[in-house]
């Protein structure tokens, strides 16, 4: 998966070609050193890497591995604009529930079966608006992503590895 996502094109006339990644993933969540979580998409993550972390990591692939697999914590000072990128603080009630339940029970609590066979749906009927981002972050940390069906207003939970089959 990291191999596919890290492929960003070839250098042409000393300029990097940026085709869309061969496959895209949903939001990427970065934990900052002041306990905020920053939400980026894969292109924003690439530009962030180029601007602020390309000297600290040998490659985008290495940076992706640190972010996706190793819980890499970024410096808050890298995000100077107060409203961009989107960021939030983790909801303490949800964090406590996650810690006490463990991931499998947490997932079971916040998911429900969907009409689509073999697909889990986020059970938004029990989620308050201030809890939503913390829940999606905790799913993300456990290698689950949310895909949204804007037409039906449903959020589907999928294992990240299933997006790369």
Two tokens, residue 149:
């069906």
The pTM for the full model equals 0.77
- Going residue by residue through the chain, which has 165 residues, state the pLDDT in tens, using 9 for 90 and above: 566 666 655 445 555 555 555 455 567 888 888 878 888 877 788 888 888 888 898 888 888 888 777 878 877 766 777 667 788 999 999 999 999 999 999 999 999 887 777 778 989 999 999 999 999 999 988 888 887 777 777 888 888 777 655
Closest alpha carbon to 25 in 61, 47, 53, 1: 1
User: Looking at residue 165, what DSSP letter applies?
Assistant: -
Give one word for 161, left, alpha or beta, with left for phi > 0 and alpha for psi -120 to 50: alpha
User: Looking at residue 26, what DSSP letter applies?
Assistant: S
């Amino acid at each position: 998966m990291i191999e596919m996502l890290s492929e960003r094109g070839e250098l042409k006339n000393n300029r990097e070609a940026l085709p869309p990644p061969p496959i895209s993933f949903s939001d990427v969540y970065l934990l900052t050193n002041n306990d905020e979580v920053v939400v980026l998409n894969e292109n924003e993550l690439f530009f962030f890497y180029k601007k602020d972390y390309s000297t600290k990591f040998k490659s985008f692939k290495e940076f992706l591995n640190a972010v996706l697999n190793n819980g890499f914590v970024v410096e808050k000072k890298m995000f100077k604009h107060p409203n961009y990128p989107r960021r939030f603080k983790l909801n303490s009630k949800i964090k406590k529930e996650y810690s006490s339940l463990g991931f499998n029970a947490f997932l079971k609590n916040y998911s429900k079966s969907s009409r689509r066979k073999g697909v889990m749906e986020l059970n938004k009927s029990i989620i308050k608006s201030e809890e939503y981002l913390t829940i999606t972050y905790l799913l993300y940390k456990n290698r689950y992503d949310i895909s949204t069906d804007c037409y039906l207003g449903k959020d589907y939970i999928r294992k990240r590895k299933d997006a790369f089959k």
